[in-house]
Structure 1
């Protein structure tokens, strides 16, 4: 009886140790992949200052043309140069830019695949992606206001959906 119990304990301990070792190896592999991905972004940033996908920075659409096309069609692939007015202070997951018509354009990033430095406001960037004009619901507008650090009073004043200019960037070129 004691030998059987001892044998069972040894087998369970062996299985547990193997499982724990595989778990640790998985954590190491995940960490290594994250480091590799970080190094790729840093390498791209150092070489050409791109976040996300690299693109031709010379084929620019003017902001006036962009606004005109956004008012006329569902969506438009474009590369534009903007001055960033605001960046999400929670993690850099969106930014805004002023358009020539006085309105703002909200920029998000394809597949939530990369984020902007939080201190990018006031700096110029070039970005490539899809521009569109669509309605943003009240809940989302309030969420954006929270991310921007707006006061509770300002957030409470948001009561209606808004037709917004939006840009989903697949790549951003941080200009020096």
Structure 2
């Protein structure tokens, strides 16, 4: 009798395990592209989240550059600031500084309400000398006060980035301007 009970128990376990395996086999496969679509809003050229370096690694790259140097890179970080008028630039923290990110040929913009969201950018990083008027323009776009804008009196060596594609962490109601392909 014991052998019969043990046999029935063992058979029940095998059937239960077999049924579980069939449930897993019947589930549709989710590929990396579908996972990406579930996680990010896509802007500009099509890119993936694969092989992106973090912002601290980008800082090390900038540290090795001089004004005029350029390198292609894909970076992942957080949006620290964004143009509140159009979303035509963002600030990406890289260590104790922030890189100013613009979008290639002004062909796309990021959400004006994207501050604090994760972003993955593909494009070119470079060091640049930014004139006073352009620095003031960025300050105005960021909604700075007249006093803060007037306090900008010297050009700066800035960390710059021109993105050809971007992924932004998905969120409800992104406020995105249509790009007119005109530079401001």
Do these two structures clear the TM 0.5 threshold for a shared fold by scoring above it?
A: yes
From 165, 169, 176, the equivalent of 1:175 is 169
2:59 maps to what in 1?
A: 67
From 128, 152, 159, the equivalent of 2:153 is 159
From 70, 74, 80, the equivalent of 1:79 is 74
1:136 maps to what in 2?
A: 130
The alpha-carbon deviation at position 56 of structure 1 amounts to 3.0
Q: Is the 8 A contact 1:106 1:166 kept in 2?
A: yes
Describe the SS at the equivalent of 1:49: strand
Give the Cα–Cα distance (whole angstroms) in 1 for the partners of residues 153 and 84 of structure 2: 23
The alpha-carbon deviation at position 174 of structure 1 amounts to 1.6
The alpha-carbon deviation at position 47 of structure 1 amounts to 9.8
Higher share of residues assigned helix: 1
Q: Is the 8 A contact 2:39 2:169 kept in 1?
A: no
1:58 aligns with 2:45: no
Q: Deviations over 1:3-49 (max 9, x none)?
A: xxxxxxxxxxxxxxxxxxxxxxxxxxxxxxxxxxxxxxxxxx88962
Higher RCO (C-alpha under 8 Å, 6+ residues apart): 2
1:126 aligns with 2:120: yes
Give TM-score, length-normalised by structure 2: 0.67
Give the Cα–Cα distance (whole angstroms) in 2 for the partners of residues 174 and 122 of structure 1: 10
Q: Is the 8 A contact 1:70 1:76 kept in 2?
A: no
Give TM-score, length-normalised by structure 1: 0.70
Q: Give the superposed CA RMSD.
A: 1.7
Relative to 1, partners in 2 of residues 1:128 and 1:88: Cα closer, same or farther, differing over 3 Å? same
The alpha-carbon deviation at position 162 of structure 1 amounts to 0.5
1:20 maps to what in 2?
A: none
Q: Is the 8 A contact 2:55 2:93 kept in 1?
A: no
Q: Is the 8 A contact 1:71 1:133 kept in 2?
A: no
